[in-house]
Amino acid sequence: MLITGPVTGLYGQSVPGKDENIPFLVTFGKLGETSWGDDDFYQVWFFAVPKEFNQQFYIRVFDPDCGGEHDEIQGEFNTRTLFSVYGGKGVDPDQNEDSKGLLNGMNYKGGNLLASRIFAGEARYDNRYFTFGPLNPTSGDFNTRWNSYIFKAVCEGVAGDDGNLYKYFLSRDPQNNLPIEGANAFTYEYTFRMWNDFRSVAHIYPYIDTGIVSVKERNFDWDNDGTILVVSKYKQGVEMTISDEDYWEDKVIPVEPQEQDASLDFQFHKRQGVLVKNNNVVITLENQRGDALKFFSSPIGGVPVYEPAIGVRPKPKK
Ligand SMILES: [Ca+2]
Ligand SMILES: [Ca+2]
Ligand SMILES: [Ca+2]
Ligand SMILES: [Ca+2]
């Protein structure tokens, strides 16, 4: 099935996205401990630039360094993080399964390396942006279904054991965050930081394609931190099985035909009482055939809102 029109609205290129309410992505140095919440010490994101957009653009990384503000220290800061941007054939995960970056040992670096840089703790980029580019849209890997050129950003913790917290922004401008209309970003394995408060609810939005009848959600190192709920037009809040320290939990839930070709809302609610601090977590989702599903930073079709069944029993007339 072809999806017509723009992939989504204006703000899809902020990663994490506007509707997700997630403070940071996180990737640990490869000598880190998985019990701190990163299972594999790398993270892969894709950016879809619509075919209609024909100017140069930039991929900006906020706080790419590991040190100073935002980052998670273990002992002393000694982590080095490699950010790499890829384009060309081999990037598009719809055509190259390995590119998804889901399993260790797979070559998630498929495509042409367009730019890369290693960051240590660097005051120059602490609490600031580093900008990759300019990039040309046609140097991406064209995907006909999304009518977009696909680019890939890989973040790897190549040394050390600390957690690098960072964000991306796909921008028309090297110095400011100016969104590209119709662009979006997606990943298959989402590693992120929860807020350090009781009330903030984080969300991620997987796209449920036609033909999907069930999904298996997996979560890693959730630290027994409250509840993970699935909400849609037809689900008021299905509770997922949650992990505690340094292991995966999973649960399969059915998907209704009416939930296809739309997004689900996975909600992450903090445990009340004693605050779980600095909770990093990994989330993946697959369909009934075991194919990994995309989490879009701007939900396809918008944020789903539960609609209680109406009109089943009309009020008796008096
Ligand atoms: Ca920093
Ligand atoms: Ca360290
Ligand atoms: Ca950082
Ligand atoms: Ca955790």
What pLDDT score was predicted for residue 5? 41
Report the separation in Å between the CA atom of 260 and the middle of ligand 4, taken as the mean of its atom positions: 31
What pLDDT score was predicted for residue 105? 72
Question: At residue 147, what is the residue type?
Answer: N
pTM of the model as a whole:
0.93
Please tell me the number of the ligand nearest to residue 68's CA.
Answer: 1
What pLDDT score was predicted for residue 312? 53
What pLDDT score was predicted for residue 252? 98
Report the separation in Å between the CA atom of 61 and the middle of ligand 3, taken as the mean of its atom positions: 9
Least confident of 8-12, 155-159, 190-194: 8-12
Q: Which are the contacts of 282, defined by CB distance < 8 A and separation ≥ 6?
A: 37, 38, 39, 189, 190, 191, 219, 220, 221
What pLDDT score was predicted for residue 106? 81
Report the separation in Å between the CA atom of 168 and the middle of ligand 1, taken as the mean of its atom positions: 14
Residue 48, pLDDT > 60, answer yes
Tell me what percent of the chain is helix, strand and coil, each rounded to the nearest 5.
5, 40, 55
Give per-residue pLDDT as tens, 194-248: 999 999 999 999 999 999 999 999 999 999 999 999 999 999 999 999 999 999 9
Question: At residue 19, what is the residue type?
Answer: D
Report the separation in Å between the CA atom of 65 and the middle of ligand 2, taken as the mean of its atom positions: 13
Report the separation in Å between the CA atom of 223 and the middle of ligand 3, taken as the mean of its atom positions: 22
Report the separation in Å between the CA atom of 256 and the middle of ligand 3, taken as the mean of its atom positions: 40
Q: What is the chain's mean pLDDT, rounded?
A: 93
Q: Pull the structure tokens for residue 80.
A: 């080095």
Nearest to 40 by CA among 104, 115, 126, 120: 104
User: Is the peptide bond preceding residue 64 cis, with omega within 30 degrees of 0?
Assistant: no
What pLDDT score was predicted for residue 318? 53
For the chain, what percent of residues have pLDDT higher than 90? Answer: 91
Report the separation in Å between the CA atom of 215 and the middle of ligand 3, taken as the mean of its atom positions: 33
Report the separation in Å between the CA atom of 64 and the middle of ligand 3, taken as the mean of its atom positions: 5
Q: Which are the contacts of 64, defined by CB distance < 8 A and separation ≥ 6?
A: 81, 83, 117, 119, 125, 130, 164, 166
In angstroms, the Cα distances linking 118 to 37, 122, 235 are 22, 10, 44
Q: How many CB atoms lie within 10 A of CB 262?
A: 19
Nearest to 175 by CA among 131, 125, 239, 111: 131
What mean pLDDT comes out for the span 183-200?
97
Residue 10, pLDDT > 60, answer no
Measured between alpha carbons, how far is 129 from 174 in angstroms, rounded to an integer? 10
What pLDDT score was predicted for residue 138? 97
| CB contact at 8 A, 23 and 72 | no
What mean pLDDT comes out for the span 282-298?
97
What pLDDT score was predicted for residue 308? 87
What mean pLDDT comes out for the span 107-130?
97
Please tell me the number of the ligand nearest to residue 81's CA.
Answer: 3
Least confident of 5-19, 96-110, 149-163, 197-211: 5-19
Give per-residue pLDDT as tens, 299-316: 999 999 999 875 555 555
What pLDDT score was predicted for residue 6? 43
Q: Which residues surround ligand 3, an ion (CB under 5 A)?
A: 63, 71, 164-166
Residue 2, pLDDT > 60, answer no
- CA Rg, the chain, in Å? 20
Residue 9, pLDDT > 90, answer no
Residue 1, pLDDT > 50, answer no
